[in-house]
Amino acid sequence: MKLLPGLGVFAGSLAIIFGVAYGAMLLTRGDTAENKLRARFGLGPDDGSGAGMGMGDRPDRDAPIPVNAAWKSREELLAADNTPLVEHTFEWEGRKYSIQAPSDAKMIVEDYGSQAFHLEISPTLDVSFEASDGNIEKIRQQASDNTRPKQYLFDASDMVVVEYPGDKVRGFDMLAVLRRGYVDFAVNTDNKGGEWGEYETREEALLALRCADSLKLVSESPTDLIEVLRQHQVRVDGDTPDEVTGLEFPSQATSPLHDLIEKFPNLERLSIYNGDRLTAEQGRQIGQLKKLTSLKFVNRSPDNEVIDGMLQAVTLEHLQLSCGNGEYPALTRLGDLKKLKTLELDISAENQSCLAKLAGLPDLRTLDLDVSAEKPPALVELGKVTQLTKLKLETQLADPCMVSLKTLTNLVDLTLTMEIIGKGQKVTDVGLSALSEMKALTHLKFTGYENSNFQITDQPFSRWASLPLETLEVDGLPIDDNGLKALCGSQSLTRIELIDSLVTDAGLLSLEKLASLKSIYLRDNKAVTEAGIEALKTARPMLSVSH
């Protein structure tokens, strides 16, 4: 699950092990953990019929959200719990944390490095924390292919507060579990039992968290979150809106659910999946958030009118936006975002004129740009955004575009991803040599396709050798033995990744003369043999060679 950005923690779930399938519904009657929980939130007991659990008729999804249930304070919730809580402490990444949990709890901390950790307080509490860009693969690898899926029933019988250094509480209180749910952390395997399948998270609960840092609503598709909100009559009121600074909407959020945006005046971070469900009014609401610094759209893009409204949020520092086909005049508003530092933009070639506005953004340093085009665009305006230090560009690359980039002399990190070039278009020495004008460049990655579209010699690589390059990754670029030998003139190159090249064993062995080189990665180089790799290892025993 995604968790808190910023310091990088988010309470993904509060859980007790639920050892039977969800459909059995064994924990629905009598004095169960769920009924205790429902009583604490004024939801009433579950009689096992499924009423109030999202299984009845689907109401009109465009109806207004009911507002006749209030939040409960942490103090009220703690007062209703007879379990004595004490402070348990642990460390993660060199920082100390404390959690309030039952006095008899036993703590198990599984550390996944800087990305995530999992904390289990047995027997009743299970909490996961993960950075916003957490590496699920690391968590995945902790599972066993013969482990049955673990099923959890969300429970909030024990309040959890995470305290950061300085005794400032920036944790969360669980306010409601609105629907029974569980999460599968197990991984499927193929018939041979040897390959990992997809990591699967099943969530059938809507979690409403009162947090100082983030609010996340989650639900299993196809359940409509707005339906769950209506059925359980939850509203945001009291002091909660002022405390929430981060909001993430799931992919199945409907337009009425997006109306919640205006209830959080102090939002700093907003992430929305499937922006095509936003209305123009909701776009204007986003644009009126006075503290918004980060706005991300994932998957489908909003329309021009929505973009026009939301780009009035002149406090934005980080923006991720994907536009579909057709013209988007509202993109000219990008020039108003004077505080923008990073921009991830996916546009069609007919909207590339908006790039002229980026030159006037003094703090813009990182640009991730994808330009869809039927033929290689010149991108002349991109060459005027000279304040950039990091650029990732994906488009149909040809000489005119690459020559336009040579004025970006402040670039430190450049990634060029080439889409398949149209017939008759080529990349030649002229285009590749233009990159040698970037005198600050230390990291260069070039991913290309269809070698027949290149017409190059070793000349560009001789020029690249004069740059302060430290890492060079080339995938699909038809560099040959002479080109690789030309790179040996570099005084700074420490790592090379060579994929799908024309290099042979003889060219590979020339790298023994590149004194600064510490590691090399090889893949799909058809003319490189195991014998050639062993020869390089023998010549440079301290060189790390992987393939």
The predicted-structure confidence for 116-164, as pLDDT tens digits, reads as follows 344 444 433 333 333 323 333 333 333 333 332 222 222 222 222 222 2
Which of 91-105, 171-185, 437-451, 483-497 is the most confident on average?
483-497
Instruction: Answer whether residue 89 is part of any domain.
Output: yes
Instruction: Answer whether residue 521 is part of any domain.
Output: no
Instruction: Answer whether residue 447 is part of any domain.
Output: no
Name the DSSP class of 336.
G
3 state DSSP class of 463: helix
Instruction: Answer whether residue 489 is part of any domain.
Output: no
Q: What is the pLDDT of residue 423?
A: 57
Angstrom distances, CA of residue 530 to CA of 83, 392, 499, 540, 547: 64, 34, 15, 15, 10
Burial class (CB in 10 A: 0-12, 13-18, 19+), 195: exposed
Domain of 136?
Answer: 15-177
Angstrom distances, CA of residue 79 to CA of 73, 211, 289: 10, 19, 36
Confidence of residue 487 (pLDDT cuts 50, 70, 90): very high
The helices-and-strands tally (H runs, E runs) of the chain is 14, 29
Confidence of residue 352 (pLDDT cuts 50, 70, 90): very high
Alpha-carbon distance of 431 to 402, in angstroms, equals 5
Instruction: Answer whether residue 448 is part of any domain.
Output: no
Instruction: Answer whether residue 514 is part of any domain.
Output: no
pLDDT of 39 higher than 70: no
How many structural domains compose the chain?
1
pTM, two decimal places: 0.63
pLDDT in tens, 268-298: 888 887 788 889 999 999 999 999 999 999 8
Instruction: Answer whether residue 163 is part of any domain.
Output: yes
- CB 452 within 8 Å of CB 428: no
Instruction: Answer whether residue 401 is part of any domain.
Output: no
Angstrom distances, CA of residue 219 to CA of 215, 223, 434: 14, 7, 50
